[in-house]
Amino acid sequence: MKPKPPLEKEVQRRVVALYKSAGCFVYVLSQGYRHERGGTRQTKGLPDLYVFPPGCSLALPWWHEVKRPGGKPSPEQVEFNARCEARGVYCLIGGYRQALEHLLFLDLWKLPPGVLLDDVAPDA
């Protein structure tokens, strides 16, 4: 039997810990689900995280919409991502692996010699 994918809040905890260990400052915008009148307290489509790279980096801040493996963005999240892209603002959609790939791309994280990305972040 195939194991269930982790909950999105568990993935988010790992992603935030990864960013912080790379020296980033993370604003967590997700507030969970509000049962009365339904929905959350945020504007639909607004990503879960806003990440500032460490002060030594020339990289710009970015948005991160956290998704568990197999998770799909809502239409509002897709629209937010498109608006960001049209204005040159980076908005990442994905989980731990995508966060690690972005940190590697920005040269804010290094894998030890001989260690592959699939060894440390196998989730798609």
Per-residue H/E/C for 66-110: ECCCCCCCCHHHHHHHHHHHHCCCCEEEECHHHHHHHHHHCCCCC
In a domain, 84, yes or no: yes
User: Is 79 part of a structural domain of the chain?
Assistant: yes
What is the distance between the alpha carbons of residues 118 and 110, in angstroms, rounded to a whole number? 14
Q: Is residue 118 part of a domain?
A: no
Lowest mean pLDDT among 11-15, 44-48, 61-65, 108-112: 108-112
Domain assignment present for 86: yes
Angle ∠(61,64,69) on CA atoms, nearest 5 = 150
Per-residue pLDDT, averaged over 79-104, amounts to: 95
- Give me the pLDDT at residue 98, please: 95
Number of domain units in the chain: 1
What stretch of H or E contains 29? none
Any domain includes 119:
no
Q: Is 122 inside a domain boundary?
A: no
124 domain residue, yes or no: no
CATH number at residue 63: 3.40.1350.10
The Cα-based distances of 115 to 9, 69, 112, 121 in angstroms read: 27, 22, 6, 11
Cα–Cα distance, 94 to 1 (Å, whole number): 25
- Name the pairing type of β-strands 62-66 and 49-52: antiparallel
pLDDT at 38 over 60: no
43 falls within a domain: yes
Mean pLDDT taken over the chain:
88
13, burial (CB in 10 Å: exposed 0-12, middle 13-18, buried 19+): middle
- Domain hosting residue 56, numbered range: 8-111
Report whether pLDDT(124) > 60: no
